[in-house]
Amino acid sequence: MELADISKRLRHLIDDDPARAISEALQLMGNINLELLKAAILIDAGALLKNYDAVVEGVEIYRNAVSRYQDNSELKYNLANGLHALALSTTDKDFSWYKDTEAFRLEARQYFYVAANDNDTTIDIRSQSYTNLGNLLWSSYRWVEAYDFYTLALIENPKNGVASSGALKMLRYALQQELGDYELLVEEIEYLAFHVRQNLESIYSYSGGYGVKGIVDEVKDISGVEKNRFEVDGDEYERFVVLNNLTLSPTIHSHSHESKYWDNINISSVAVGLGCDSTVPEIFAMINILKSDYILARQLFFNASNKLFKETGNYNDTLNYACYGVNESALALAQRSALDILDKVAVATLSYLGIGGAKRTSFKEAWFKKGKEEKEKLKPAILNEIENGNTALLALTEVSRDLSNKIGFLSEKQASRNSSTHRFTVLHDLGVTPVSHSGCLEYFDYEIFLRESLHTLKLARSSVIYFVQMVLIREEKSSQKKDGIIMPLIVPSHEDIRGFDE
């Protein structure tokens, strides 16, 4: 039989009889194309049956292929799918699953990200990579990031029904958590349900028959409504914020809104004992600073990327197509400022949880025990909070792993932050990006740095939202355990106290 016929037969078997598909795939031998087909069937059918051994064999075939063809992002995408399937095929033992599958998921996220950002691969691979990265992030409750990647998947392929179903799931979760504006979330959910039903063919091509059935079942109780076209009110900056989903709010602002304070995420209340004084708890000052730091980083990015800073310096040309000036420096500063927010999230988290060492911690180190052999083990207080159901704290620790591990898909963001802090960041908009002879210069392609800086801004936004959600989850659980009288301490609006709205 021709390869195409074999592939068609086996893929039909995955839907009808996945065990038989595995059995027949194991008989395939020959050239690399047959080996890769074998791997694909073992992974897809193995994932359906949670057949760990079948998935392992498929992963090893793809791993060998990636080592031979290191520039092939499609192979990396397929390997990432296999690694994700390995994680899903690992026996679920509550929180221990995250530790047992950490290496698989970390590597898979990196390969999905590489494939999604490779302009030389196909639109389908890029869109599917963003989609599957979103799925992987959602498995560890990183729902804000997942939504962003589903959105990017839809930009690559506007007919990707799997991505719209994933985005819908994230918004339903926000609704269940009572996060964000109810009406805006419902309106967006209804549109996404409409989009899913309009794109069943793409769901089938990406996920097969099982995928279609599962996704259709998820939206069957939602009345889908086509989205009306809208114009965002406000200036160019506000349009940039809304269209890139950069509002500091769990509500997805794809619609116009009335309030001038659209960065409106807040901590509503925290419980304190009777022995405490009557001052407002420090966590309210902390969230205020986190918000204002983020808003400033966002404004810096917009101004720098649009060359809005007035230039008063003149520079030597280094004859290698480098870009110099205040706007380039502001762009590097925006990226660095966004990552600095994460360190403050770590400080605020440890302070709120009453864990020692808060004021000297960093986002990379806050969650883990010290000591070379135990650096990857969570601190007992962090572990206990997560095991008690604080999924937002789990999300923060997993973001940290992607930043601090050299194969984490966020590690380049950390590297560029270190570069702009301690060395010299040089951006290039033409030609081949050079290599520094001294090691004191770090060269980056301008467009790639711009894209990654925008993603870093989104990461900072996500982490602040996770922090707020972490507090809300802990306060809700604490209130359920307390007996007796609860007296509220009202924290007033800063704008009202200062008279800003008069």
Question: Is the per-residue pLDDT at 369 higher than 90?
Answer: no
Handedness of CA 189, 129, 7, 13 (dihedral sign): negative
Packed helices 18-25 and 3-16: angle between N→C axes, nearest 10 degrees: 150
29-68: per-residue pLDDT in tens?
889 999 999 999 999 999 999 999 999 999 999 999 999 9
Higher pLDDT, 485 or 169: 169
> Which of these ranges, 33-47, 249-263, 284-298, 469-483, has the smallest mean pLDDT?
249-263
Closest by Cα among 333, 343, 154, 322 to 252: 154
Summarize pLDDT for 309-361 with one digit per residue, the tens: 999 999 999 988 999 999 999 999 999 999 999 999 999 999 999 999 999 99
CA distance 129 to 193: 21
* For residue 101, pLDDT beyond 90: yes
DSSP 8-state secondary structure symbol assigned to residue 90? S
CB atoms within 10 A of CB 279: 9
- End of a domain among 36, 70, 104? 70
H, E, C per residue of 105-125? HHHHHHHHHHHHCCCCCCHHH
On the question of pLDDT at 275 being above 80, the answer is no
Structure tokens at 106: 């970390």
What is the mean predicted confidence (pLDDT) over 479-490?
A: 64
Query: Of 70, 98, 121, which residue sits at a domain end?
Result: 70
Residue 220 pLDDT more than 60?
yes
User: Considering the domain boundaries, does residue 416 fall inside one?
Assistant: yes
- Please enumerate in sequence order all residues whose Cβ is within 8 A of that of 422, keeping only pairs 6 or more positions apart, or say none: none
Query: Given this model, what pLDDT does residue 414 score?
Result: 76
Residue 36 lies in a domain: yes
- Better-predicted residue by pLDDT, 74 or 269: 74
pLDDT at 254: 54
In a domain, 407, yes or no: yes
At residue 83, the pLDDT reads: 97
Query: Residue 185 pLDDT more than 80?
Result: yes
pLDDT band at 23 (very low <50, low <70, confident <90, very high): very high
What's the number of domains the chain is made of?
2
Rounded to the nearest 5°, which phi and psi values hold at 27? -85, -10
487 has pLDDT over 90: no
Q: Give me the domain span that covers residue 432.
A: 265-498
Query: Would you give the DSSP letter of residue 152?
Result: H
Distances, alpha carbon 446 to alpha carbons 198, 240, 244, 352, 455, in Å: 38, 19, 19, 39, 14
Evaluate if residue 16 carries a pLDDT over 60: yes
Secondary structure (3-state) at 461: helix
Per the domain annotation, does 180 fall within a domain?
no
Q: How confident is the model at residue 501 (pLDDT cuts 50, 70, 90)?
A: low
Q: Give the CA dihedral 448, 454, 455, 460, nearest 10 degrees.
A: 140
- Of the pLDDT bands very low, low, confident and very high (cuts 50, 70, 90), residue 94 is confident
Is 248 domain-assigned? no
* Segment among 275-289, 458-472, 480-494 with least mean pLDDT: 480-494
Contact 350, 358 (CB under 8 A): yes
pLDDT at 199: 92
Rounded to an integer, what is the distance from CA 313 to the centroid of its chain?
38
Residue with tokens 């990226």, as numbered in its chain: 335
Q: 429 in a domain, yes or no?
A: yes
Percent of the chain whose predicted confidence (pLDDT) is above 70? 89
CA nearest 151: which of 80, 245, 231, 263? 245
Final residue of a structural domain among 70, 86, 117: 70
Q: What angle do CA 467, 468, 470 make, to 5 degrees?
A: 65
Residues with Cβ within 8 Å of 375's Cβ and at least 6 positions away in sequence, in order, are 368, 369
Instruction: Return the structure tokens found at 359.
Output: 């004021």
The pLDDT mean for the chain works out to 88
Which structure tokens are listed for 461?
Answer: 């936004």
- Asked whether residue 151 is assigned to any structural domain, the reply reads no
Helix (H) or strand (E) holding 52: helix 52-68
Instruction: Give the whole-number percent of the chain exceeding pLDDT 90.
Output: 60
pLDDT at 491 over 80: no
Q: Which residues pair with 442 in a beta bridge?
A: 425
Cα–Cα distances (Å) from 480 to 266, 273, 382, 484, 488, in that order, read 21, 15, 20, 11, 16
Indicate whether 410 pLDDT > 80.
Answer: yes
Decide if 34 is inside a domain. Answer: yes
pTM for the predicted model, two decimal places? 0.91
Cα–Cα distance list, 131 to 115, 153, 162, 397, 447 (Å): 11, 6, 7, 22, 23
